[in-house]
Amino acid sequence: DAGITQSPRYKITETGRQVTLMCHQTWSHSYMFWYRQDLGHGLRLIYYSAAADITDKGEVPDGYVVSRSKTENFPLTLESATRSQTSVYFCASSLTSGGGRDTQYFGPGTRLTVL
Amino acid sequence: RKEVEQDPGPFNVPEGATVAFNCTYSNSASQSFFWYRQDCRKEPKLLMSVYSSGNEDGRFTAQLNRASQYISLLIRDSKLSDSATYLCVVRRPPLGGGTSYGKLTFGQGTILTVHP
């Protein structure tokens, strides 16, 4: 049971470059999420997706682009990376929009450094 | 005021100790509550949901007080392997219909170190 995977696990890039972080889940969960985690800020939602071809902004979407052409994949693209985007990025998924005890399950994270 | 507030700690306790963490939330419409655990440089993992009547899972007990808007986690007989950051997580109901979702708000976490 692969669950939810992310790639790459570590990435170093330079300011101004485009970077794409991949997220893949095998649970057929409808909802997928991208968070970033920084010291002093905790986990902050960047974008989420309710289904294929349906995406919406979270708290900190500026500088990021997402797509979801297939239910199982939810890539996050930094169009022109900046140093402030150095962070740990977590992808998560949930079966539903959040009823009852349903909650989100996280991938292992991508540690991104922008020089 | 932050939506979810936790004492950041760190809590340093010996093996076998009992330790309790508290968390307060500001949105009275919050619907569901969870504790996640996050090990150093790893992803958050669901530890347990928190039920209105309180619930127990082995050495872990979670309590919810809706009137006072706080959640607690009690760990009994602490193990070295319990060392981690514990995240209090609160979910609000979906706003509107369609593709809206019940937003999860994460506390900043409480650091626990269990020493021999």
How many Å lie between the alpha carbon of B102 and the closest alpha carbon of chain A? 5
User: What confidence tier does A1 reach under pLDDT thresholds 50, 70, 90?
Assistant: low
Residues of chain A with Cβ-Cβ distance to B107 below 8 Å are: 42
Nearest by CB to residue B91, choosing from A48, A98, A109, is A98
* Cα of B116 vs its chain's centroid, Å: 24
The type of residue at A88 is: V
Local structure of B57: helix, strand or coil: strand
Residues of B in Cβ contact (< 8 Å) with A98: 31-32, 91, 93-94, 101-104
**In this structure, what are the phi and psi dihedrals at residue B81, rounded to the nearest 5 degrees?**
-70, -5
Q: Tell me how far the alpha carbon of residue B5 is from its chain's centroid.
A: 10
Q: Which of A50, A54, A104 sits opposite B104 (nearest CB)?
A: A104
Contact B99 A51 (CB under 8 A): yes
Q: Measured at the alpha carbon of residue A20, what is the angle toward residues A18 and A26, in degrees to the nearest 5?
A: 175
Tens-digit pLDDT profile for residues B11-69: 999 999 999 999 999 999 888 999 999 999 899 999 999 988 889 999 999 999 999 99
- Please state, in angstroms and rounded to a whole number, the distance separating the CA atoms of residues B105 and A90: 15
Residues of chain B with Cβ-Cβ distance to A110 below 8 Å are none
Q: Within an 8 Å CB–CB cutoff, is residue B27 touching chain A?
A: no
A7-21, A90-104, B4-18: least confident range: A90-104
pLDDT confidence of residue B33: 94
Residue A89 above 70 pLDDT?
yes
* Mean pLDDT within A42-49: 93
Task: Check CB contact under 8 Å for A31 and B89.
Answer: no
Distance CA B94, CA B3 (A): 16
